[in-house]
Each structure stands twice: as structure tokens, then as C-alpha cells.
DNA sequence: GTTATAGTGTTGTCTAGACAACTATGAGGC
DNA sequence: GCCTCATAGTTGTCTAGACAACACTATAAC
């Protein structure tokens, strides 16, 4: 039985959510043919244009593949390796066989400063969740994580203990990732950042600004700061814009 | 006077093209308020849903900014540095104050092999343009560029001389960039690639696979191979997928 | 058996209209 | 001056229907 969640969200977003849930749960595996537009129209009792918009957006987001005159299918394994990979630093460290520990510096509600507000497309002063912590590999600080989270998307975020459940894992579980953005640059760390990373004034750092979306809604914006001498970046990236 | 191009393309795509042209030509600069949906409906003689879809897609592509109840504006300077940057290797070399020269290896029509066809979403055997060349910095090969181009999007591509006009510059001029994708990995070069790059069998290479889109249409797919000892990658990336 | 042809089901596009939600503006009352 | 409220203009969403384009299948003709 297919039924829409109720809620204040627009209809087409709830249709998208329904599809995403079926795919994320594994009920609809790769190459599964999903119900046709007319079937969804009949089952959900909504208009075809609304269904069509939901399916079209999910197609442009890479979750579905549509074939004119045939049907709509769950996107299978891509011909090349996954285009995006957002890894957890904790997983990375453990895969290297090292010990991982997180030291929480802040974990609270804060009013968004202007630069953060613009990234979230909200008014400055809007209340957001803010977590700052360092990730240590064998007791050596390897990353400073400065993360803002959208309370509307993840209302219970503040209840977690970031030292035990990494914010990354919690967010991935609460809001299946649909889109991400990485900006990579080399910078010098601020004094308070240097203190937590235990690095020298002249130490160049790799800065990764990461934003993630789920179902069109921004979930989180994070600044990830790596001491240059202790980290190298690898992986695949995709970029888009302007 | 605002008027749509005629052609076989769907109406909403022609509306997008009209907006893109006005922005690319500079007629509508950053923060310019573009005509409202109702004005476009009246001037173009088409329905509002069609106009709305065009504006909505351009907004999601980052070209426009829409404010509920106010209007639609050309996206201005972003609060942070441009999210995507696709640079020309020739520009990079010249900025370092070095001499740049390109050696053309192939520049012709070819039938797409299966892997290329899948990247272009066409049938294997479809005729595409194919250019292979090396870029030399002070007569030292620094990059091998293996590029496929969509003839439907850039029909006169074969008429250029890649040694004089870089394919990158020509494509950027012919089809304003709207979207791009980078995949970065480390590989060993094929024998024929090693010959042109004048590198050793065991030399690790940085491989960047780059695809670019313009107005929803794929323009070009390129494999850019850099000898690891002669190049370091820097820049900003954005990724999205799955 | 092979080849046309018609029919069915699917996605892609477009229309005309409606209502909701939001913003800015100006008029009026205090 | 300051506040409240009505109004107009804009974008966001949704509907019901229509036709086109495409793929597949079953049927009929040869």
C-alpha cells in the first residue's frame, strides 16, 4: 500500500520523499520499475503534473532513470564509480587501524551569523544547531569540525553526544543524502583553531567546506580543517554551479 | 523586445535559452530584476507553468535567485568564491610565466566506443568529435587531453585548429558553462599515453575526468592526464550525485 | 515465417485557471 | 511620528485535461 506522509510540505516533495524512502529502505532496488505516473495519480489521488514534477526532479538528482515510452526505474550501479563520496573521518581513521576519539568543544543552539545564514538561506539571527569538535587519531588532532545543522530538518540533533555518535553518522541516518558540495582551499588557521589542533602559526591547513542536502532541503554546513602535515585528500568530486 | 528563438526544442528550454543569453551577453547583469512570470507570459504568449518551469530550473542551476513575493533576479557575486572553476591549462601555464604549446595528435570525427557513448547518453557508434593533444610547458609535456565533443551542440568544432585555439576556450565561448563534473583518480598511463607524455612505465599519473554541460545539454567529456611528478592539483570542487 | 499495422501504455510537454503565501507600499487612524 | 490594515504584485503550488512522442505487443496480411 502506497500512501503519502501528511505534513506541511508541498505535495511534490512528499511524493519525492515517498520514492526516496522506498529506495533507501531497499524495498525498490536498483533497476526496479517503479509505478507509472498514472498509477501514482490513481493511488495517491493527486494530479499527474505533481507526480511528474517529483519524478522529474528525482531523475535530475540521479536517483531515478526515466525511459520515454517505457517507464521509470531506480538508478542502478553507475557505469563508473560513485560520483560522490562523503566519508566519515572516524571511519577513515579506523580503517587505517588507528584509534579514534572526538573532543567536543561546543554543542548547542546559536544564532546564525551572516555568513552561515546565507549558506542556509535563512535570516541572520535564526536559531541553528552548532557543533565544534576535534577528531583525534591516536590522540593526535587531525581534524577540526565546525558544523551547523538545520533544526527544521533534524530536530533532535542536540540530543546526541557527538563524542559517542558522530554527527556525520547521525545525519546520514536521519536524512538520506541527496546532494553535497565541497569547496577545498588552503588556509592558515585562526588562533583558537590552532590551539585545538596543536599546530604552529605558519602551518598551512586544508579547509574543506562541505554542505549537504536531503530531498532538496539543506541539512548541514561544515568547515573541516586539516593540518597540512597530517592529512592528504583523496577521492572523487563533482562540481556544478553558476 | 523579447522574443523566443524558434526551433524544435521544447518551449521551456527556449525560455531558458532566452534568459541565459540575456545574462551571458551582459544585458542583464548581477542582481538585475528580470521580467515577472506574468510579463513573460504576456510577452511570449505562452502559459505561466512553462515560464515557471524555466525559471525554476535556472534557479536550481544557480543562474537566478527568486524571492517569494518580490521577484526574480540574476544571481550576483556569490558570498564565497565561485563554487566551480574550470581552468584552462594554457592559462595556468602562462600565468606561471612559462611558454605554452599544444601538439595535436588527433582531431576528427569518430564513432563513440561504448564507454564514451554512455557518458554522452547516446548509442555506441554515434558519430562524435574526438580531439587528442598534449599541452607542453616550456616544451615539457605536462598534460594529455583526450576530449570528445557533442556535434549537436557545437557543430563547427572540427573547423578550429586546436594548436591555435584551445578547445577549452572555444567550447566555453560557444556554449556558456552551466554545469560540470570532475572525477579525480591516480592511474598508470597506457603505453601510447606514456609515449606522448615522455614518462616512465611506473610513473603515477593524476587523471581528471571532466564533463561539462550547457543548458542541460552535455557539451564535452575529457580525460586529462597529468604526470604526477609534474603537476599538483588545486582549486575548488562541488559534488553531487546518487 | 516474415512483415506491416494498429493498439496500448508510457513519458514529455503545454495550457488555462485557481488558490495560497509572501512582500512592499500606501492610506488611514491614533 | 507611528502603527495598523488593506491592496496590489509576485512567486509557489496544484488541478484537469489535452496532445505528442516513443516503445512494445498483438494481430492481420502476405
Is A45 contained in some domain? yes
A69 & A97 share domain: no
Gap from A53 CA to chain B (nearest CA, Å) = 10
Is B84 contained in some domain? no
In this complex, the residue of B79, B82, B237 whose CB is nearest that of residue A237 is B237
A70 & A97 share domain: no
Cβ of residue B180 closer than 8 Å to a chain A Cβ: yes
Q: Is nucleic acid strand C under 7 Å from A55's C-beta?
A: yes
**ipTM of this predicted structure:** 0.57
**Alpha helices, DSSP H, located in B25-142:** 37-44, 48-60, 89-95, 114-120
Q: Cell numbers of A124, please?
A: 541572520
Where are any strands of DSSP class E within B31-176? Answer: 64-67, 71-74, 100-111, 127-137, 140-149
A94 & A172 share domain: yes
Q: What tens digit of pLDDT does each residue of A19-76 get?
A: 988 987 889 988 899 999 999 999 999 999 999 999 999 998 778 989 899 999 998 6
A128 & A197 share domain: yes
Question: Considering only CA atoms, which residue is closest to the C1' of nucleotide D23?
Answer: A69
Percentage of chain A beyond pLDDT 90 is 29
Distance CA A142, CA B23 (A): 44
Size of interface A-B (CB pairs under 8 A): 109
Report A:181-220 residues touching B (Cβ under 8 A).
181-186, 209
Under the banding of pLDDT at 50, 70 and 90, the label for residue B61 is confident
Coil, strand or helix at B57: helix
- Our measurement of CA A69 to C1' D30, in angstroms, reads 30
Is B168 contained in some domain? yes
Q: What tens digit of pLDDT does each residue of B11-44 get?
A: 999 999 899 889 878 899 888 999 999 999 999 9
Q: Cell numbers of B54, please?
A: 524555466
Q: Is the pLDDT of residue A115 over 90?
A: no
Kindly report the average pLDDT of chain B as a whole number. 79
Is B82 contained in some domain? no
Note whether B48 and B38 are within 8 A (CB). Answer: yes
Q: Cell numbers of A8, please?
A: 506541511
> Distances in Å between the alpha carbon of B124 and those of B7, B43, B117?
27, 42, 5
Which H/E stretch holds residue B187? Answer: strand B179-188
Note whether A51 and B211 are within 8 A (CB). Answer: no
B118 & B189 share domain: yes
Distance CA B190, CA B115 (A): 16
Distance CA A223, CA A226 (A): 10
Burial class (CB in 10 A: 0-12, 13-18, 19+), B123: exposed
- Our measurement of CA B43 to C1' D10, in angstroms, reads 17
Gap from A218 CA to chain B (nearest CA, Å) = 13
Contact B179 A79 (CB under 8 A): no
Smallest Cα–Cα separation from A168: which of A99, A53, A86?
A: A86
Cβ of residue B48 closer than 8 Å to a chain A Cβ: no
Q: Which of A41-45, A179-183, A195-199, B233-237 bottoms out in mean pLDDT, i.e. has the lowest? A: B233-237
B68 & B29 share domain: yes
Q: Which of B30, B50, B74 is the last residue of a domain?
A: B74
Q: What tens digit of pLDDT does each residue of B62-80 get?
A: 789 898 999 999 986 543 3
Residue A221: beta bridge partners? Answer: A148, A211
Distance CA B234, CA B211 (A): 18
Note whether A145 and A87 are within 8 A (CB). Answer: no
- Our measurement of CA A75 to C1' D14, in angstroms, reads 28
Dihedrals phi, psi of A53, to nearest 5 degrees: -60, -45
- Our measurement of CA A222 to C1' C23, in angstroms, reads 32
CATH number at residue A60: 1.10.10.10
Q: Is nucleic acid strand C under 7 Å from B235's C-beta?
A: no
Cα Rg, chain A, nearest whole Å: 20
Is B242 contained in some domain? no
Q: Side by side, which strands form the sheet with A100-111?
A: A100-111, A127-137, A140-149, A217-227, A204-214, A179-188
B116 & B218 share domain: yes
Report B:98-157 residues touching A (Cβ under 8 A).
115, 118-119
User: What is the total count of domains within chain A?
Assistant: 2
Q: Which domain holds residue A148?
A: 89-230
B62 & B177 share domain: no
Q: How many CB atoms lie within 10 A of CB A227?
A: 22
Percentage of chain B beyond pLDDT 90 is 29
Smallest Cα–Cα separation from A215: which of B242, B177, B57, B108?
A: B242
Cα Rg, chain B, nearest whole Å: 20
CATH number at residue B176: 3.40.1410.10
Q: Cell numbers of A80, please?
A: 563508473
Q: Is nucleic acid strand C under 7 Å from A49's C-beta?
A: yes
Note whether B136 and B145 are within 8 A (CB). Answer: no
Is A113 contained in some domain? yes
Is B201 contained in some domain? yes
Burial class (CB in 10 A: 0-12, 13-18, 19+), A219: buried
Q: Cell numbers of A136, please?
A: 583525534
Task: Kindly identify which residue of chain B lies nearest to residue A82, measuring between CA atoms.
Answer: B242
B35 & B135 share domain: no
B164 & B125 share domain: yes
B19 & B100 share domain: no
Q: Which of A24, A51, A74 is the last residue of a domain?
A: A74
Distance CA A48, CA A38 (A): 7
**Predicted pLDDT of residue B53:** 96
B118 & B203 share domain: yes
Q: What tens digit of pLDDT does each residue of A136-177 get?
A: 888 888 889 999 998 888 888 999 999 988 898 888 777 766
Contact A239 B182 (CB under 8 A): yes
Q: Is the pLDDT of residue B81 over 50?
A: no
Report chain A residues whose CB lies below 8 A from the CB of B79. Answer: 115, 118-119
Task: Kindly identify which residue of chain B lies nearest to residue A62, measuring between CA atoms.
Answer: B242
**Alpha helices, DSSP H, located in chain A:** 11-24, 37-44, 48-60, 89-95, 114-120, 167-174, 191-197
Contact B240 A180 (CB under 8 A): yes
Note whether B153 and B38 are within 8 A (CB). Answer: no
Pairing verdict, β B64-67 and B71-74: antiparallel
Smallest Cα–Cα separation from B181: which of A241, A129, A225, A39?
A: A241
Report chain B residues whose CB lies below 8 A from the CB of A180. Answer: 239-241
Cβ of residue B241 closer than 8 Å to a chain A Cβ: yes
Q: Which of B49, B74, B99 is the last residue of a domain?
A: B74
Is A102 contained in some domain? yes
Gap from A241 CA to chain B (nearest CA, Å) = 6
Amino acid at each position: 500500500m502506497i500512501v503519502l506522509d501528511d505534513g506541511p510540505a508541498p505535495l511534490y516533495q512528499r511524493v519525492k520523499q515517498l520514492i526516496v524512502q522506498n529506495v533507501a529502505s531497499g524495498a525498490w532496488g536498483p533497476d526496479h520499475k517503479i509505478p507509472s505516473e498514472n498509477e501514482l495519480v490513481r493511488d495517491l489521488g493527486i494530479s499527474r503534473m505533481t507526480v511528474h514534477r517529483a519524478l522529474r526532479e528525482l531523475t535530475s538528482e540521479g536517483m531515478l532513470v526515466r525511459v520515454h515510452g517505457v517507464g521509470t526505474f531506480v538508478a542502478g550501479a553507475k557505469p563508473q564509480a560513485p560520483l560522490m563520496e562523503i566519508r566519515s573521518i572516524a571511519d577513515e581513521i579506523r580503517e587505517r587501524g588507528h584509534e579514534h576519539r572526538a573532543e567536543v568543544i561546543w554543542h548547542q543552539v546559536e544564532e546564525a551569523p551572516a555568513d552561515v545564514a546565507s549558506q542556509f538561506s535563512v535570516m541572520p539571527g535564526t536559531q541553528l544547531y552548532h557543533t565544534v569538535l576535534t577528531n583525534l587519531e591516536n590522540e593526535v588532532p587531525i581534524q577540526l569540525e565546525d558544523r551547523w545543522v538545520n533544526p527544521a530538518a533534524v530536530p533532535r540533533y542536540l540530543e546526541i553526544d557527538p563524542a559517542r555518535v558522530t554527527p556525520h553518522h547521525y545525519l546520514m541516518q536521519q536524512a538520506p543524502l541527496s546532494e553535497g558540495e565541497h569547496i577545498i582551499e588552503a588556509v592558515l588557521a585562526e588562533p583558537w583553531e590552532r590551539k585545538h589542533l596543536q599546530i604552529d602559526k605558519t602551518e598551512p591547513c586544508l579547509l574543506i567546506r562541505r554542505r549537504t542536502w536531503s530531498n532538496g532541503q539543506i541539512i548541514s554546513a561544515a568547515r573541516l580543517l586539516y593540518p597540512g602535515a597530517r592529512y592528504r585528500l583523496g577521492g572523487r568530486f563533482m562540481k556544478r554551479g553558476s
